[in-house]
Amino acid sequence: MAHVFNPRDKHKLDSPERKRRLPAEAILKEFGLRKGDWFLDIGCGTGYFTLPAGRLVGPSGKVYAVDISRELLNELKSRAEKSGLTNIECIKSHTYEIPLPSGLAEKALLAFVLHEVEERAKFLSEIRRLLKPGGQLFVLEWQKKKTDMGPPVEERLSEDEVIRVLNRVGFEILRSSSLSDWFWLLIAQKTS
């Protein structure tokens, strides 16, 4: 069984250390998120990336915040309302079935989620379904080494492991790089 984030630890998602090591808005800009985009934040938690995404896509864009935890989605909904963001829709899902129509979004984010999923090909195929033709998927994960925070090393995924699954389910890798000593990122594009 994969290590799954415990909603009781939600305070860790907004720690000053995390904000320093992982500047959400800067990362989203690097991904090319822009005004008018329709964006999926899969495994959104309390909205660490969702809220900055809502500001970046603006009123002409839309952010679908997807999570399996009702508790975390409720927290996110409250934060979005307090921030005056009306372009964020919270979606309660099951891991392998996301109740949204096919071809919905230009971009999707999986931030520190994939290592928690048992059937990765099935999960990534579902995300692929939600993307428009040529849509992009951004994957952020922990480096496969011991750090002061994050999941156990044996639960972490290497870039190569993820690339193999992405290629198998219909994604082309556009970019793969180390974001820091702690994190790596991939940008993949849905193939036809």
pLDDT grade for 17, boundaries at 50, 70 and 90:
low
CB atoms inside a 10 Å sphere around CB 118: 11
Q: Taking residues 34-40, what's their average pLDDT? A: 98
The pLDDT value given to residue 98 = 97
Q: Taking residues 27-39, what's their average pLDDT? A: 95
The pLDDT value given to residue 150 = 83
The pLDDT value given to residue 129 = 98
**What's the predicted TM-score (pTM) here?**
0.89
Helix/strand/coil (H/E/C) assignment for every residue in the chain: CCCCCCHHHHHHHHCHHHHHHCCHHHHHHHCCCCCCCEEEEECCCCCCCHHHHHHHHCCCCEEEEEECCHHHHHHHHHHHHHHCCCCEEEEECECCECCCCCCCEEEEEEECCHHHCCCHHHHHHHHHHHEEEEEEEEEEEECCCCCCCCCCHHHCCCHHHHHHHHHHHCEEEEEEEECCCCEEEEEEEECC
pLDDT grade for 23, boundaries at 50, 70 and 90:
confident
CATH fold of the domain at 34-190: Rossmann fold (3.40.50)
135-182 pLDDT, tens per residue? 999 999 999 988 888 888 999 999 999 999 999 999 999 999 887 888
Whether residue 32 contacts residue 17, with contact meaning beta carbons closer than 8 Å, is answered with: no
Residues 6+ away with beta carbon under 8 Å from 129: 102, 103
The percentage of residues in the chain with a pLDDT greater than 90, rounded to a whole number, is 75
The pLDDT value given to residue 1 = 46
The pLDDT value given to residue 120 = 96
Model confidence at 83: pLDDT above 90: yes
Q: Looking at the DSSP assignment, which residues form a beta bridge with residue 149?
A: none
